[in-house]
Structure formats: structure tokens, C-alpha cells
Amino acid sequence: MEFELNSHKNGETTKPKHKLIEYANGPSLEEINGTVEVPKGKGFMKTLFAYSGPGALVAVGYMDPGNWSTSITGGQNFQYMLMSVILMSSLIAMLLQYMAAKLGIVSQMDLAQAIRARTSKGLGVVLWILTELAIMATDIAEVIGAAIALYLLFHIPLVIAVFITVFDVLVLLLLTKIGFRKIEAIVVCLILVILFVFVYQVALSNPDWGGVVRGLVPSAATFSTDHPVGGMTALSGSLGIIGATVMPHNLYLHSAISQTRKIDHDDDEDVARTVKFTAWDSNIQLTFAFFVNALLLIMGVAVFKTGAVKDPSFFGLFQALSDASTLSNPLLIEVAKSGILSVLFAVALLASGQNSTITGTLTGQVIMEGFIHMRTPLWVRRLVTRLISVVPVLICVLFTSGKTAVQEHTALNNLMNNSQVFLAFALPFSMLPLLMMTNSEVEMGKRFKNSLWVSVLGWVSVIGLTYLNMIGLPDQIQAFFGDNPTAGQVQLANIIAYILIAGVLSLLAWTTYDLYRGNKRYAAKVQAHLEATED
């Protein structure tokens, strides 16, 4: 299987000519939709293996470079307390990704297509722009992570390393030739590399496993604003982990790539089997993502001495992994002398960035086709998005080039953290429509609509995450003014945040109203069709 569609003429296979920009209103990711064969009547494990893969592409978003700093810093500042936040975020992610995959399989539309089909054109364009900004914000973290990994591994100057990240489009071009199943396998291998690196480093540190288990139980202190450590409260640490974990683009991606398996949509049992095994795949892969994020937090507690990491940027963590004065036990110190700990960290960082290249590009294509019915070649899509994302990183590097290394590192780390502010805006506009549509019997049918417990947990998750993102917004805006903002800057940050929150709530009301009306219109059409059939 290849991404390119082939046409046949006089017994010869030819590739159709594609324009740079085309109209698209067909199946989601049409080139790979329904192309992967799955066995029928086979055992559980063999069937699960055939459905495994899409979950790995989704899990990548839950362990990208944006997660690393928040988890490690959270461990440094609050020991194992925030383990419960990682667990809760992972469970919510499993629920949301299950609904996203089910929407794609049952309705044969990805989330962007489904929203556009039930809302006005104007709202579709607004939501497309908002989601594009969120993807670009995520891409900034990937650019920073990949560029720093290249700098740390090969001593390539940062400016040049940033430009090199643009050429990962060549990797994407290569991958489009080898088939979607092989892409899934490559992503799984890269995830295993990341998992191995952190398992190895944590195993050497001999953490307090009793403390780890106790940290999985949430307490009132988990979301406390009292007793800040290093300028961070437990609440801000929790919000950082939540914001870096549950990302809107993963819901769009999963609703599209869940349709890559070939199934008979006229057979409810075949559809139900696909939903079941896709959910298994997703939950297994997201469990791996949970362990990676948990290992990152444990690193912050057990690998390093408490409070030893003064620079939470990737540079600082790399340096700390080779500095005997920051490490927690003699075995770690002995291994660190060889440089293997810091090198493995940089390799995992590079693997994380390359994984995100694949998933970010596919997601961009999904939302562009779904919201505005426009298609471009994947390499064009990737090149444009990456070039836009590179600009703020280059500006940051160039503006700090004459300053100290610590100031440069801090500026890049702040840029990465501040770029995540768009995720707080975009997340409700993917979660709310997803929940409304999968709760609807008209959209999903009686058999596949959310059960009562899924619906209740879904509403709790959507309302809870939206609330947490909104209350964390003032601090995120305030971060743009640096580490020591003035009283006037704090006030300005709060005003900006409240205006943005009002805008988000207004746009959510518009989205909810449009979706409700669209669902009613669709229900009326279905009823009219049934009545006409009966007559």
C-alpha cells in the first residue's frame, strides 16, 4: 500500500497528477482509508495485532517534548505527589481517545468532518484556524526538542540545528512510500526506544516504589496553591502536566486513522469488533505513554537530588545527567561518568521529535480537509507548518545569541512552555463536539452511542479539563512577562486572560448551539427518509 492513489489504463499502472491545492470532500485521509486488511474469525491476539498501530500514533502526542519538562520539574518540586495527576490525565485520555476512534469507525467521518457537517461554514473556518494554531504550538515544542537534541548529540549550532529540523520533511517523503502499516511499526519502535531509555535510568536510581504507589492516590494537596517550590505551586504543576498531556490534535488524528482498517459497515458485528479492538490498541499504547510520563516524574525525584536541577530546560537536564553533584546514588554517578545517561536522554528526545513529525503532519491534513475541504500534498503541508513554527524559535535563538548560555536556555524553555497556551483554547472545541456527537443516537445509532457511565465520565472530564485550563490561563499569560513580572504586568495578564476566557466561552456557546441545530436537522432528515421508505 502507498499513500499515492494509482489509476489503471490499458493494463498499466499510472500515478494521477495532483495539483498543489485540491478540493477534498471524500473519506478521511482517503489514500489510506480502509486499506489495511484485518483477519476474520481468528484468535484474540492475532486480531489485536492486526488492529494495533493507530494507538501508537496517538500515544506519541502524550509523550512529546512538551511533556518532559513539566513531569521532571513536578517530580523535583513535589516528589511523587503529582503521580496522581499523570494517572488521571492518562485515564481521561483513554476515555476521550476511545470516543474519537468510535466516532470515526461508526460515522465514517473524522472529528473535523463531523463538526463541519453539523455547523456553519463560518464556525468551521474559525475552528480550523484555532486548531491550526494549536498544532503549530505543539510543533514549536518539537522544533525546540529536535534542535536541542541535535546540538547536544552532534554539537551543531542551534541556528543551524533549527534549520535542519525543516528537512524532516524528507523523512516524511520517504515514509509515504513504504506504506501505513510500516509507519505504525516505526512509530512503535521509536516509542520503545524512549521507554527503554527511561526504564534504564530509573532502574539505576532505585526509587522509593512505596512512595510512587502512594503518589497515585490524589489528595487535596495535589491542587493546592500554598507552599510554592521554585516559583511553582502544586496546582500550577498539575495544570502543566494536564496541559502537556491531553492535546486536541490527538482526537482529530485518532478519529481519522481508526478508519484505516478495512471493515464492512453494513455489518454491525464487524463494526463492533473494530471498535472493540481499536479501543484495546488505544488503551495499551496509552498505558505505555503513562509509564513514560510516570518515569519522567520519577526521574525528577529519584535520579536527581532534590532541588539539584536548577535549569529545567533540556540543556540543564542533559548537563545534570552527567554531573555527579546532581545525581542521587553512587551507581548512577559511576554510569554517568561514561556519558551514557546524557546521550541516551538526547537520543530519546530526538526520537520523540521524529515521532511527532509523522503524527503532526497527518493531523494537519485531517483538519484542513475536514474543516475547509482543502488538500495539499503531505510534504507541502509539513514544509509550510514547520517553516511557520521555526520562525519564533529562530527569533528566540537570535535574540539571545549574545547573552549567557543560561539565559538562552531559559528563553527557549519559556518559549516552549508559553507556546502551549493555544492548547488551552483549542481543547474544549474538540472535546465538547466529540462528546455531544458520540452521545447522540442519531449520529451513532442505538448500539454505538455512549453508555450512561461513559457519558457521565465524559461530561466530568470535559467540564473538569476546560475549567482547569481556564483557571490556569492567567498564570500562562503572566509567564509571557518573564519570571519576575511587576504588579502592573500581573494585572494586565489577568485582564487579557479574562477577555480570552470570555471569548472561549462565547465561542463554545456558538459551537454548542450550531451542533445542537445541526443534529436536529440531521434527525429530521433521517426521520423523513424513514417515513418515505415506509410509504
**Domain assignment of residue 438, yes or no:** no
- Is 533 a member of any domain? no
Quick check: helix, strand or coil at residue 314?
Answer: helix
Residue 459, burial from CB neighbour count under 10 angstroms (0-12, 13-18, 19+): middle
- For residue 14, what pLDDT is reported? 45
Q: How many residues does the chain have?
A: 535
User: Looking at the domain assignment, is residue 7 inside a domain?
Assistant: no
Cα separation, 465 vs 458, whole angstroms:
10
Cα radius of gyration (the chain)? 23
Instruction: Report the C-alpha dihedral over residues 458, 459, 460, 465, rounded to 10 degrees.
Output: 90
CA 72 to chain centre: 18
The crossing angle, in degrees rounded to 10, of helices 441-448 and 428-439 is 60
Cell, residue 9: 489504463
Helix axes 268-298, 441-448, angle to 10 degrees: 100
CB contact at 8 A, 454 and 99: yes
pLDDT of 8 reads 40
CB 36 within 8 A of CB 181: yes
Instruction: Say how far apart CA 6 and CA 2 lie, in whole Å.
Output: 9
Please spell the DSSP secondary structure of 322-353, one letter per residue: T-TTTBSSHHHHHHHTTTHHHHHHHHHHHHHH
Does residue 437 sit within a domain?
A: no
Angle ∠(148,152,153) on CA atoms, nearest 5: 115
Cell of 97: 481517545
Q: What's the Cα-to-Cα distance from 16 to each of 9, 29, 153, 371, 379, rounded to whole Å?
A: 11, 17, 42, 25, 17
Q: Give the domain range for residue 141.
A: 22-423
Model pLDDT, residue 167: 77
Low-confidence residues of the chain, pLDDT below 70? 1-24, 66, 169-176, 230-231, 420-421, 483, 535
The pairing of strands 12-14 and 374-375 is unpaired
Cα 173 from Cα 165, distance rounded (Å):
14
pLDDT of residue 11: 45
| Number of folded domains that form the chain | 1
> Which residues have C-beta within 8 Å of that of residue 451, sequence separation ≥ 6?
none
Angle formed by the axes of helices 65-78 and 234-245, nearest 10° = 160
Contact by Cβ (8 Å): 412, 396: yes
Q: Are the beta carbons of 354 and 66 closer than 8 angstroms?
A: no
* Grid cell digits, residue 377: 500534498
pLDDT for 435: 95
Quote the Cα angle for 307-310-313, to 5°.
125
Quote the CA–CA distance of 166 and 389 in Å, as a whole number.
10
Asked if the structure places residue 289 within a domain, the reply is yes
> Is position 327 within any domain?
yes
Q: What is the pLDDT of residue 434?
A: 95
State the average pLDDT for the chain.
83
pLDDT at 9: 41
Would 311 be classed as within a structural domain?
A: yes
> Is the CB of residue 57 less than 8 Å from the CB of residue 187?
yes
pLDDT value at residue 57: 87
Torsion of CA 369, 373, 376, 382, to 10 degrees: -40
> What's the CATH code of the domain at 54?
1.10.4160.10
Place of cell 465538547: 432
**Residue from 224, 208, 210 nearest 306 by CA:** 208
Q: Look at residue 19 in the predicted model and tell me its pLDDT.
A: 64
Other CB atoms within 10 A of residue 416 CB: 26
pTM (two decimals): 0.87
3-state secondary structure of 9: strand
Question: Is residue 133 a part of any domain in this protein?
Answer: yes
Dihedral sign (CA 111, 177, 146, 54): positive
C-alpha cell at 201: 535510568
Q: How many CB atoms lie within 10 A of CB 471?
A: 14
The b-or-e profile of 473-500 (16+ CB within 10 A means b, else e) is bbbbbbbeeeeeeeeeeeebbeeebeeb
